[in-house]
């Protein structure tokens, strides 16, 4: 049994359930993924599968990586990750796994990179209220305010919420309900939102 597959966030929509409820769902293009390397305890010290998703141009791949892909009988891939594997299925280099692996899965965890927002202030980054709009403070509307004391401890504590780079971090959303699996379109529909922009790469794994 393969624990996870690689995919790409297609976007959000909504679907009706059998009892008439309208659910917001995220459509994820999940697979097909090519097995680039089978990791074994005897050779590598642990058991896992290296998967590749979505072809890319050979001219944009380094020579060592071209040889790695060629050894698996695969075209170069854009998104490459290792996933857990219990070693029970008959899988070898070059095998192709599809969304059908998740046909019986009820809940999944989705890992992706959040949208990068660049350098942001404390109001947007941390939800600060900002300063008062009256009493002559026209230039303090989105300021962070005090960040510590002067005499004691006479420094700013690590972790103080301040302006800085926002987003662009690895995030996992857990226990998302699987609403539908569509093997014909290599798609899976999950209830709720997942990290990242549309067309952003994600790793979908079995919950728990």
Q: What is the mean pLDDT of residues 115-121?
A: 96
At residue 131, does pLDDT exceed 90? no
The answer to whether residues 10 and 50 belong to one domain is no
Contact 171, 194 (CB under 8 A): no
Alpha-carbon distance values, 74 to 33, 36, 67, 78, 147 (Å): 10, 7, 10, 12, 54
What pLDDT, on a 0 to 100 scale, did the predictor assign at position 87?
79
Tens of pLDDT, residue by residue over 7-64, are 999 999 999 988 899 999 999 999 899 999 999 999 999 999 999 999 999 999 999 9
pLDDT in tens, 179-193: 999 999 999 999 999
Which residue, 85, 66, 93, is CA-closest to 77?
66
What integer best gives the mean pLDDT of the chain?
92
* Same domain, yes or no: 27 and 115: yes
How confident is residue 147, by pLDDT bands cut at 50, 70 and 90? Answer: very high
Same domain, 195 and 177: yes
pLDDT at 134: 84
For residues 73 and 169, state if they share a domain. no
SS3 43: helix
CATH for 113: 2.40.30.10
Place 138 in a pLDDT band, splitting at 50, 70 and 90: confident
Tell me whether residue 46 is in a domain: yes
Lowest mean pLDDT among 15-29, 47-61, 111-125, 134-148: 134-148
Instruction: Please indicate, yes or no, if residue 123 is contained in any of the structural domains.
Output: yes
Q: What is the DSSP secondary structure assignment for residue 157, as one 8-state letter? A: P
| Mean per-residue pLDDT, 142-149 | 90
Tokens of 11: 């976007």
CATH number of the domain residue 68 falls in: 3.30.160.810
Assign 16 to helix, strand or coil. Answer: strand
- Are 124 and 185 found together in one domain? yes
Q: Show the tokens assigned to 172.
A: 């996992």
pTM of the model: 0.86
Residue found by looking up tokens 């995030």 in the block = 171
pLDDT of residue 83: 93
* Percent of the chain at pLDDT exceeding 90: 76
The number of folded domains in the chain is 2
Residue 89 has pLDDT above 80, yes or no: no
User: Domain range spanning residue 63?
Assistant: 33-97
What is d(CA 188, CA 191) in angstroms, rounded to the nearest whole number?
A: 10
């Amino acid at each position: 049994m393969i624990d996870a597959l690689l995919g790409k966030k297609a976007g959000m929509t909504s679907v009706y359930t059998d009892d008439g409820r309208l659910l917001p769902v995220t459509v994820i293009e999940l697979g097909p993924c090519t097995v680039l390397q089978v990791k074994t305890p005897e050779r590598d010290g642990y058991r896992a599968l290296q998967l590749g998703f979505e072809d890319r141009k050979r001219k944009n791949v380094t020579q060592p990586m071209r040889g790695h892909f060629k050894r698996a009988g695969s075209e170069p891939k854009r998104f490459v990750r290792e996933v857990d594997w219990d070693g029970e299925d008959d899988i070898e280099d070059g095998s192709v796994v599809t969304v059908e692996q998740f046909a019986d899965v009820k809940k999944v965890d989705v890992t992706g990179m959040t949208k990068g927002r660049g350098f942001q202030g404390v109001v947007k980054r941390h939800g600060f209220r900002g300063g008062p709009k009256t009493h002559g403070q026209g230039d303090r509307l989105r300021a962070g305010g005090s960040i510590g004391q002067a005499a004691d401890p006479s420094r700013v504590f690590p972790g103080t919420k301040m302006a800085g780079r926002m987003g662009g971090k690895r995030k996992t959303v857990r226990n998302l309900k699987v609403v539908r699996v569509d093997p014909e379109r290599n798609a899976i529909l999950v209830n709720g939102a997942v990290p990242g922009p549309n067309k952003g790469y994600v790793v979908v794994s079995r919950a728990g």
